[in-house]
């Protein structure tokens, strides 16, 4: 006993010292973020250095375009850009960095990933000056289509935009136009026409729709888009926000769920879609074993290496249900500048620089993705998606922009999976969602 006590005392002293040491080390963490105001970014930035954490990895097509832009930027302005090609985990690394004073000056990512981390938490600088910056006589805000910005997705709580997009992604129902020229000539515009196409495909013996049922985000696109077709962009977010859960009693919600149910019950989905592992089903689709797949605008690049010879990528939009103007899904990839960055001016200038026509064209034709500028040309494989976005009167985000903590993964995805994988009916799905959502808001309200 005595021996233990004698050894405990010095240990306690050590513990105390260590605690004191570590708490002083973390002392800066609770500092309030500096007051953020828009800065004038027109002056010379020669000799200044910025630190950029990129969402791209060395060798990716987008990385090559951005690397070219950076080297031009350095030559033109005399500023220096130190880049870390971190890949998609850059936003996860950003979270702890934001609690220190050692932040990157520029980060990029999808709106869906940047918003929860830096946008909604008020940790990003307002980029108003970027939007008003002029490139070849045109302001940045004039080259970004107005329908992308009009619903305010880039605005923080202060009403200022904190993100500047340089690329977008979307979705569509993809098919091989070489094999199905009739779909390219006359894509189904309404749900009834869509069902006719499915019936014809089924009668011909082909599997109508392939789906990687293990990806909840793909499964949910069916229900969410059906609902948006019925009730317009923003209606799913409004539904999820409803603390009383009464929104789920709306007959239109049930109808959207029934559309999904009819695909499942009608046997239009490729057999085995509910027990396979990504990317098995999209491989099967690219091999020509199924006719259609609802997937993102990245489908041509993602499946290009294993597509059947002569595969000609084309797509049509999710068909209209009812008479609401059909919105196109548009998700954004772009830049944000942490409010704590000490190199605001050069960082914001680089964000503007990527909207120059040269790099926007390169994103469209070399990287084969969708640039944010409407006047930039794109690769033929994604031309059908671009045409649909250009024609759409409004846009919506993936899952209609719902990012309430845990709602998507714990409330919506599990129940939507059950519906899409054929384990529950539309009516059961609606009832379960209503109950779970009421509980969710009770716990998180």
Tell me how far the alpha carbon of residue 248 is from its chain's centroid. Answer: 25
Is 161:131 a contact under the CB 8 Å cutoff? Answer: yes
Span of 87-95, 136-144, 372-380, 386-394 interacting with other proteins by CB under 8 A: 87-95
Considering only residues 212 to 241 of the shown chain, the ones binding other proteins according to CB under 8 A are 212, 214-217
Considering only residues 365 to 404 of the shown chain, the ones binding other proteins according to CB under 8 A are 399, 402-404
- Which of 161, 162, 134, 138 lies closest to 150 in space, CA to CA? 161
Between residues 261 and 356, which has the closer beta carbon with respect to other proteins?
Answer: 261
* Interface with other proteins (CB under 8 A), residue from 61, 116, 234, 245: 116
Between residues 10 and 310, which has the closer beta carbon with respect to other proteins?
Answer: 10
Residues 6+ apart with CB under 8 A from 215: 278
Considering only residues 12 to 31 of the shown chain, the ones binding other proteins according to CB under 8 A are 14-15, 17-19, 21-23, 26
Considering only residues 240 to 279 of the shown chain, the ones binding other proteins according to CB under 8 A are 271-272, 274-279
How many chain residues are in contact with other proteins, going by CB under 8 A? 64
DSSP 163-204: -EEEEEE-EEEEEETTT-HHHHHS---BHHHHHHHHHHHHHT
Is 337:345 a contact under the CB 8 Å cutoff? Answer: no
* Interface with other proteins (CB under 8 A), residue from 134, 192, 199, 409: 409
We find the least distance from the C-beta atom of residue 36 to other proteins, in angstroms, to be 13
Is 61:369 a contact under the CB 8 Å cutoff? Answer: yes
β-pairing, 207-210 with 290-296? parallel
Q: Which three-class secondary structure state does DSSP give residue 397?
A: coil
- Residue 6 sits in the site that holds other proteins (CB under 8 A): yes
We find the least distance from the C-beta atom of residue 335 to other proteins, in angstroms, to be 18
**Omega of the bond prior to 279 within 30 degrees of 0, cis?**
yes
Between residues 255 and 289, which has the closer beta carbon with respect to other proteins?
Answer: 289
Backbone angles phi, psi at 181, to 5 degrees: -60, -25
* Interface with other proteins (CB under 8 A), residue from 417, 424, 429, 437: 417
* Interface with other proteins (CB under 8 A), residue from 34, 122, 267, 325: 122
Span of 61-69, 71-79, 90-98, 126-134 interacting with other proteins by CB under 8 A: 90-98
- Which of 208, 369, 203 lies closest to 291 in space, CA to CA? 208
Considering only residues 144 to 203 of the shown chain, the ones binding other proteins according to CB under 8 A are none
Is 377:364 a contact under the CB 8 Å cutoff? Answer: yes
Between residues 57 and 410, which has the closer beta carbon with respect to other proteins?
Answer: 410
* DSSP state letter for 381: G
* Interface with other proteins (CB under 8 A), residue from 65, 70, 79, 112: 112
For 360-400, strand residue ranges (E) read 370-371, 395-396
We find the least distance from the C-beta atom of residue 274 to other proteins, in angstroms, to be 6
Which pair of structure tokens corresponds to residue 442? Answer: 């009770």
Q: Which residue has the tokens 């990895």?
A: 57
What burial letters (b/e) apply to 145-155, b meaning 16+ CB within 10 Å?
bebbbebebbe
We find the least distance from the C-beta atom of residue 328 to other proteins, in angstroms, to be 21
We find the least distance from the C-beta atom of residue 402 to other proteins, in angstroms, to be 8
Backbone angles phi, psi at 353, to 5 degrees: -60, -35
- Residue 101 sits in the site that holds other proteins (CB under 8 A): no
CA distance 219 to 380: 27
- Residue 433 sits in the site that holds other proteins (CB under 8 A): no
Is 385:170 a contact under the CB 8 Å cutoff? Answer: yes
We find the least distance from the C-beta atom of residue 291 to other proteins, in angstroms, to be 17
We find the least distance from the C-beta atom of residue 300 to other proteins, in angstroms, to be 17
Binding site residues, other proteins, CB under 8 A = 1-3, 6-7, 10-11, 14-15, 17-19, 21-23, 26, 33, 91-92, 95-96, 98-99, 112-113, 116-118, 120-123, 212, 214-217, 271-272, 274-280, 284, 399, 402-410, 413-414, 417, 421, 439, 443-444
């Amino acid at each position: 006993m005595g021996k233990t006590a004698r050894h405990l005392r010095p240990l306690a002293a050590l513990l105390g010292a260590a605690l004191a040491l570590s708490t002083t080390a973390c002392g800066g963490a609770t500092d309030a973020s500096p007051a953020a105001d828009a800065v004038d970014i027109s002056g010379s930035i020669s000799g200044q250095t910025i630190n950029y954490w990129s969402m791209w990895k060395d060798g990716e097509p987008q990385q090559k375009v951005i690397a070219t832009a950076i080297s031009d930027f350095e030559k033109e302005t005399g500023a220096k850009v130190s880049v870390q090609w971190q890949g998609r985990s850059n936003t996860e690394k950003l979270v702890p960095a934001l609690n220190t004073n050692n932040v990157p000056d520029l980060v990029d990512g999808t709106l869906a990933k940047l918003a929860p981390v830096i946008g909604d938490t008020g940790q990003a600088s307002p980029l108003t000056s970027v939007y008003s910056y002029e490139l070849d006589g045109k302001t940045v805000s004039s080259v970004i289509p107005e329908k992308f910005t009009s619903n305010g997705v880039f605005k923080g709580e202060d009403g200022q935009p904190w993100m500047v997009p340089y690329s977008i992604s979307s979705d569509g129902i993809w098919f091989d136009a070489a094999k199905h020229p009739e779909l390219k000539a006359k894509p189904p515009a309404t749900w009834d026409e869509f069902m006719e196409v499915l019936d014809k495909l089924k009668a011909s013996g082909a599997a109508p729709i392939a789906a990687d049922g293990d990806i909840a985000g793909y499964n949910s696109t069916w229900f969410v888009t059906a609902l948006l077709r019925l009730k317009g962009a923003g209606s799913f977010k409004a539904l999820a926000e409803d603390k009383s859960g009464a929104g789920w009693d709306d007959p239109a919600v049930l109808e959207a769920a029934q559309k999904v149910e009819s695909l499942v019950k009608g046997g239009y989905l490729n057999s085995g879609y509910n027990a396979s592992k990504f990317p098995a089903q999209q491989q099967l689709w690219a091999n020509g074993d199924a006719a259609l797949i609802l997937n993102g605008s990245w489908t041509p690049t993602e499946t290009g290496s294993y597509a059947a010879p002569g595969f000609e990528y084309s797509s049509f939009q999710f068909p209209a249900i009812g008479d609401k103007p059909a919105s196109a899904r548009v998700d954004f990839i772009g830049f944000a500048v942490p409010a704590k960055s000490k190199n605001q001016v050069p960082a914001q200038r680089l964000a503007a620089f990527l909207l120059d026509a040269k790099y926007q064209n390169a994103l469209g034709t070399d990287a084969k993705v969708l640039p944010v500028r409407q006047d930039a040309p794109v690769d033929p494989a994604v031309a059908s998606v671009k045409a649909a976005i250009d024609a759409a009167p409004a846009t919506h985000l993936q899952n209609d922009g719902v990012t309430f903590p845990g709602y998507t993964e714990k409330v919506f995805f599990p129940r939507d999976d059950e519906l899409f994988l054929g384990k529950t009916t539309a009516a059961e799905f609606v009832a379960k969602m209503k109950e779970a959502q009421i509980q969710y808001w009770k716990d998180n309200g």
